[in-house]
């Protein structure tokens, strides 16, 4: 009996490994990713098969179906009347970004930089206090601390005025959030959604796909997007990190409606509830018809049929004529982004990558060291921000195109997370971003030491950490 059972288990195990190997080869976007999974599955099948079932999925199930069912939300935004006239010198780049994100560049927007947490949450709370119809809140991390309770106070007050308030947070990012925080909001009439709970136990097989978006939309007319989550550390109150250097943007006008549409799509996929008839869509009109500020939301994620996150960065990098500056807390590029950075540097562009000096996630920090030498040799420059922890996600292309949002320069944002970046094709806004990043560079040190000059443990472990790049 024992022999028969062992034989059955062996056959079952072999079939499971064979299936996972086939699935890894068939679904991997890159040969490196496929090879890594095959080696892992064959060498350690008892660990490899469960890991692949949880982490190896390339796309989120049913997300495109949910998108099709709620596509009328995007149709509301994607009209000829709402489209802006694209500048000739940027037309191909902006059209590419439109196709990647599925939303048009529109004029009539007001976009304001919000530097660091104090300015960001003061602005968010003030706009929530002015809400008349709806408030949509989405964060990757929400904590039940001073800032978390402050935001809850404003949301409860809005609900008491009769405003429809919805809050959605990521189940992994907010895993430490106590149920009492959500219960208080629900008792006040706020709809609170954790997609991991709403979609049932099968969502655990999609644990590697996270919703990393951080947005607030009020009345469909004012929206906020950027790098801040909800927690005291984002106000610089955590002594481990000190100053938390982050950036949000406040948007008024048609792009606020785009951000609301993406929130509604996420809500629909997570809960099955359509918000088509329950949110104000006419509110996101041009704030000033004479305002030529062009902007668009570029949402990306594993529900897309293409690698939209990587393509977004690739498009921005290859569009540069004079410079491309990118600020990101993590740097784990894929081969396409590596090639784009090398090509831009070899062509004489000013290519700069701004990273933190403080470590919050050790493995990505370690893996990044394996890329520096190769890219520096072609002219790419790397800087470490020294005045606290840098968490902003910002792109500056030349002097007329900039982006702020949630996407990091790593494979997780390229292919595994749902992200949002607001692109603004406007010289004045790009100038604001240039001044902000220039101030950050003043507070930074350029990385010039080679890997061979690093401590022994970094020299040995960084190439090994790079092997995990497809999952970082």
Of 109-113, 152-156, 360-364, the range with the lowest mean pLDDT is 360-364
pLDDT, position 422: 99
d(CA 291, CA 318): 28
The answer to whether residues 110 and 207 belong to one domain is yes
Q: Give the count of beta carbons closer than 10 Å to the beta carbon of residue 385.
A: 23
Of 99-103, 232-236, 287-291, 304-308, the range with the lowest mean pLDDT is 287-291
What residue has token string 């190769």? 374
The answer to whether residues 380 and 323 belong to one domain is yes
The answer to whether residues 125 and 271 belong to one domain is yes
Q: Does residue 463 belong to any structural domain of this protein? A: yes
Q: Does residue 95 belong to any structural domain of this protein? A: no
Between CA 7 and CA 16, with CA 13 as vertex, the angle to 5 degrees is 145
The answer to whether residues 133 and 276 belong to one domain is yes
d(CA 63, CA 67): 6
The answer to whether residues 268 and 205 belong to one domain is yes
The answer to whether residues 22 and 84 belong to one domain is no
Last residue of a domain, one of 292, 327, 356: 292
Domain span at 68: 63-90+106-292
The answer to whether residues 43 and 79 belong to one domain is no
Q: Considering the chain, what percentage of its residues have pLDDT values greater than 90?
A: 63
* Catalytic residue list: 212, 214, 219, 391, 393, 398
What is the SS3 assignment for 160-219? HCCCEEEEEECCCCCCCCCHHHHHHHHHCCCEEECHHHHCCHHHHHHCCCEECCCEEEEC
For the chain, the first-to-last Cα distance in angstroms comes to: 44
Q: Does residue 461 belong to any structural domain of this protein? A: yes
d(CA 373, CA 3): 55
Total count of domains within the chain: 3
Q: Yes or no: say if 133 and 163 are a contact pair by the CB < 8 Å rule.
A: yes
The answer to whether residues 140 and 264 belong to one domain is yes
pLDDT, position 204: 45
Task: Find the CATH number of the domain harbouring 439.
Answer: 3.30.870.10
Q: Does residue 131 belong to any structural domain of this protein? A: yes
Please name which of 61, 101, 63, 74 lies closest in space to residue 268, comparing C-alpha atoms: 63
The answer to whether residues 36 and 73 belong to one domain is no
Region of residue 116 (phi > 0: left; psi between -120 and 50: alpha; otherwise: beta):
left
CB burial of residue 378 (10 Å; 0-12, 13-18, 19+): middle
Q: Does residue 377 belong to any structural domain of this protein? A: yes
The answer to whether residues 313 and 428 belong to one domain is yes
Mean pLDDT of the chain: 86
> Which tens digits make up the pLDDT trace of 1-44?
567 666 666 666 677 667 656 676 766 666 666 766 676 667 66
> Which tens digits make up the pLDDT trace of 365-410?
888 898 999 999 999 999 999 999 999 999 999 999 999 999 999 9
pLDDT, position 300: 96
Q: Does residue 70 belong to any structural domain of this protein? A: yes
Contacts with 49 (C-beta within 8 Å, 6 or more apart), sequence order: 13, 16, 17, 20, 41
Give pTM, 2 decimals.
0.87
> Which tens digits make up the pLDDT trace of 241-274?
999 999 999 999 999 999 999 999 999 988 889 9
Q: Does residue 300 belong to any structural domain of this protein? A: no
> Which tens digits make up the pLDDT trace of 302-327?
888 899 999 999 999 999 999 999 99
pLDDT, position 201: 43
> Which tens digits make up the pLDDT trace of 458-468?
888 888 878 76
The answer to whether residues 74 and 10 belong to one domain is no
The answer to whether residues 49 and 181 belong to one domain is no
- List C-alpha distances in Å: 10 to 2, 4, 41, 53: 12, 10, 15, 19
Q: Does residue 17 belong to any structural domain of this protein? A: yes
Region of residue 220 (phi > 0: left; psi between -120 and 50: alpha; otherwise: beta):
left
pLDDT, position 67: 52
């Amino acid at each position: 009996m024992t022999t028969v059972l062992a034989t059955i288990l062996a056959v079952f195990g072999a079939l499971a490994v064979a299936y996972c190997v086939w699935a890894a080869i068939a679904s991997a976007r890159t040969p490196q990713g496929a090879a890594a999974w095959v080696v892992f599955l064959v060498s350690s099948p008892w660990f490899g098969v469960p890991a692949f079932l949880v982490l190896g999925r390339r796309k989120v199930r049913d997300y495109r179906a949910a998108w099709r069912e709620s596509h009328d939300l995007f149709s509301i935004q994607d009209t000829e009347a709402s489209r802006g006239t694209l500048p000739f010198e940027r037309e191909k780049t902006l059209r590419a970004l439109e196709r990647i994100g599925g939303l048009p560049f529109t004029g009539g927007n007001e976009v304001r930089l919000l530097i660091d947490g104090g300015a960001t949450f003061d602005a968010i709370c003030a706009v929530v206090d002015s809400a008349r119809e709806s408030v949509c809140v989405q964060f990757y991390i929400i904590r039940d601390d001073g800032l978390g309770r402050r935001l809850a106070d404003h949301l409860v007050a809005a609900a008491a005025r009769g405003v429809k308030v919805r809050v959605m947070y990521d189940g992994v990012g907010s895993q430490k959030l106590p149920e009492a925080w959500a219960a208080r909001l629900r008792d006040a009439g706020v709809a609170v959604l954790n997609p991991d709970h709403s979609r049932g136990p099968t969502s655990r097989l999609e644990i590697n796909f996270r919703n990393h978006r951080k947005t607030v939309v009020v009345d469909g007319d004012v929206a906020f997007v950027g790098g801040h989550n909800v927690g005291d550390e984002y106000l610089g109150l955590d002594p481990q990190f000190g100053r938390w250097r982050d950036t949000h943007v406040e948007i008024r006008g048609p792009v606020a409606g785009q951000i609301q549409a993406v929130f509604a799509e996420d809500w629909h996929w997570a809960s099955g509830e359509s918000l088509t008839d329950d949110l104000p869509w006419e509110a996101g009109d041009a704030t000033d018809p004479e305002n030529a500020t062009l902007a668009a939301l570029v949402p990306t994620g594993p529900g897309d049929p293409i690698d939209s996150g990587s393509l977004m960065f690739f498009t921005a990098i290859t569009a540069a004529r004079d410079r491309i500056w990118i600020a990101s807390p993590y740097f784990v590029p894929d081969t396409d982004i590596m090639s784009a950075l090398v090509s831009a540097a070899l062509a004489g562009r000013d290519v700069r990558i701004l990273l933190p000096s403080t470590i919050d996630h050790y493995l990505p920090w370690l893996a990044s060291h394996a890329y520096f030498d190769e890219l520096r040799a072609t002219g790419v420059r790397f800087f470490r921000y020294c005045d606290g922890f840098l968490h902003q996600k910002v792109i500056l292309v030349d002097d007329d195109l900039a982006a702020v949002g949630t996407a990091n320069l790593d494979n997780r944002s390229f292919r595994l997370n749902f992200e949002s970046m607001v692109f603004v094709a406007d010289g004045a806004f790009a100038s604001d971003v240039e001044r902000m990043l220039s101030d950050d560079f003043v507070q930074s040190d350029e990385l010039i030491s080679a890997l061979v000059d690093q401590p022994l443990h970094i020299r040995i472990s960084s190439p090994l950490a790079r092997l995990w790049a497809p999952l970082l």
